[in-house]
Structure 1
Amino acid sequence: MFDASSPPTDDACPFCAIAATHQPYDPLRPPSALALSAELTSPSSFVVLSTPALIAFLDIMPLSPGHLLLCPRRHRPKLTDASPQEARELGAYVRVLSAALARATGVEDWNVVQNNGAAAAQVVPHMHYHLIPRPEIRASGRFSESFTMFGRGRREELDDDEAEKMAEELRRQVAVVLKEEQQQAEYEERRQLAKAKAKL
Structure 2
Amino acid sequence: MSTIDDLYPISCPFCRISEAYPPEASPIPQLPDPEKVDPQAHVLLSTSHVLAFLDILPIAPGHILLTTRHHYNKLSDLYNASLAAETDTASQREAQEEARESSRALGEWLPIVSRALCKVTGIEDWNIVQNNGERAAQVVPHVHFHLIPRYQEGRRENAGKGKVDVGMLKSWRMFGRGAREDLDDEEAEELVGLLRRALREEVEGAGGGKAKL
TM-score band, normalised by shorter chain: 0.7 to 0.9
**Which letter does structure 1 place at the counterpart of 2:8?**
T
Mark the CA change 1:28 to 1:162 in structure 2 (over 3 Å): closer, same or farther.
Answer: same
Match of 2:193 in 1: 168
- Is the aligned partner of 1:145 residue 2:141? no
Match of 1:193 in 2: none
Mark the CA change 1:95 to 1:181 in structure 2 (over 3 Å): closer, same or farther.
Answer: farther
How far residue 108 of structure 1 moved from its aligned partner, in angstroms, is: 1.6
SS at match of 2:205: helix
- Is the aligned partner of 1:91 residue 2:71? no
Question: Which structure has the larger Rg?
Answer: 1
**Which letter does structure 2 place at the counterpart of 1:180?**
G
* Structure 1 unmatched runs, 5+: 187-200
How far residue 180 of structure 1 moved from its aligned partner, in angstroms, is: 1.7
Q: When the two structures are superposed, what TM-score results if normalisation uses the length of structure 1?
A: 0.81
* Structure 2 unmatched runs, 5+: 79-98, 157-165
- 1:1-200 correspondence runs (5 A): 3-5=1-3, 7-27=6-26, 30-32=29-31, 36-82=32-78, 83-137=99-153, 145-146=167-168, 147-152=171-176, 154-180=179-205
Match of 1:189 in 2: none
The number of residues matched between the two structures is: 180
Distance in 2, Cα, partners of 1:37 & 1:185: 25
How far residue 183 of structure 1 moved from its aligned partner, in angstroms, is: 6.0
Q: When the two structures are superposed, what TM-score results if normalisation uses the length of structure 2?
A: 0.76
How far residue 26 of structure 1 moved from its aligned partner, in angstroms, is: 3.9
Question: Considering only aligned residues, what root-mean-square deviation do their CA atoms show, in Å?
Answer: 2.7
